[in-house]
Amino acid sequence: MVTSVAELEQPSDSGTADAVAQDAVSAVITVIEPKPGWRTIDFGELWKYRELVYFLTWRDVKVRYKQTVMGAAWAILQPLMTSLVFVILFGKMGGMEVDTTVPYLLFVFAAQIAWQYFATSVSQCGQSLVTSANLISKVYFPRLIVPLASVGAGLVDFLVGVGVLVVLMIAYQFVPPVQIVFLPLFLVGVIVSAVGVGSLLAALTVAYRDFRYVVPFLIQMWMFATPVGYPLNKLTNFLESRGYSRTWELLYFANPMAGMTQGFRWSVLGEPLDMSCLAVSAISACLLLVFGATYFRLVERRFADIV
């Protein structure tokens, strides 16, 4: 069942038979037909539906902390507690604080907010299509909107995290370096990675509910594969001491979140950042987005039938 739908904006001066038959009131012609093959992301259509992305995001944000006693305090507590655990586990017990020039809590927290955003987005994305089953089987809209809205909703928590980071920096009387202006770029990197992985997992979860159990596990593993709780040089030193070449280090950065969390530390705290490593992560993030979205587009035609 390889089908496709094309929606064409009819140019007002078009001379086709359709345009002649067209009433002046409306200039929209929708052709519904099966069209075999892969489909690219229809950015024009997504743009048309941008308000729906906004409303679904807004809904998710509104609903997230409804009927919780602590409310949005969870957005502060979650990254803070995790960071504190890392500080004790890696910084104190693992003795890694000696390797960093900045306070270890700051060091962890700067990466943690990026990671947390990625992790919540991906896990919300994974469930997103299944929880919106009623929408998908009753209304048409570009399906990619659903995972996009999940990633969008996480942004609010992320911004709260940034606020906490600012407070911590003031508390530690830490002045950020000039490259802090590049922070938004790394945020974009996180979003790209999250949308790529999230849409892939969302599409897979529709067909295979197993991914409900895979996703939390995957995220847990992924966290340890990302330099959130530990400094990167611990890992590079380890690789060097075992005689692994630099290729292995670059390979490690195929995990886009490795590059992005390092980017956060670089721009917020002035930690060193290897540009070739960052490039690997950036390319990997883009590839993930293309792969995730393409797979999503390939299978989305079946969503309404099987969800």
Indicate whether 6 belongs to the interface with other proteins (CB under 8 A). no
Residue from 38, 43, 140, 238 in contact with other proteins (CB under 8 A) = 140
Q: Which is nearer to other proteins, 45 or 97 (CB)?
A: 45
What value, to the nearest 5°, has the Cα angle with vertex 181 and ends 254 and 163? 90
Residue 108: count of CB within 10 angstroms of its CB = 30
Indicate whether 5 belongs to the interface with other proteins (CB under 8 A). yes
How would DSSP label each residue in 152-204? Answer: HHHHHHHHHHHHHHHHHHHHTTPPPPGGGGGHHHHHHHHHHHHHHHHHHHHHH
Helices 104-131 and 183-207 pack at an angle, to 10 degrees, of 40
Q: What amino acid is encoded at 204 in this protein?
A: L
Biggest CA pair distance of the chain: 77
Which range of residues in 17-25, 80-88, 108-116, 250-258 is near other proteins by CB under 8 A?
17-25
Q: Which is nearer to other proteins, 18 or 224 (CB)?
A: 18
Which range of residues in 14-22, 101-109, 165-173, 284-292 is near other proteins by CB under 8 A?
14-22
Which residues 181-240 are close enough to bind other proteins by CB under 8 A?
206-210, 213
Looking at the chain, list the stretches that DSSP marks H as alpha helix, in order from N- to C-terminal side: 17-21, 43-48, 50-64, 73-86, 104-131, 133-136, 145-171, 183-207, 211-224, 232-241, 246-252, 256-269, 275-306
Which range of residues in 1-9, 83-91, 103-111, 264-272 is near other proteins by CB under 8 A?
1-9
| Binding string, residues 67-106; x marks residues near other proteins by CB under 8 A | x---------------------------------------
Q: Which is nearer to other proteins, 41 or 89 (CB)?
A: 41
Indicate whether 178 belongs to the interface with other proteins (CB under 8 A). no
Token digits of residue 121: 């987005």
Residue from 84, 89, 94, 301 in contact with other proteins (CB under 8 A) = 301
Which residues 26-45 are close enough to bind other proteins by CB under 8 A?
26, 28-34
Look-up of token digits 């996180």 = 190
Which range of residues in 3-11, 38-46, 193-201, 281-289 is near other proteins by CB under 8 A?
3-11
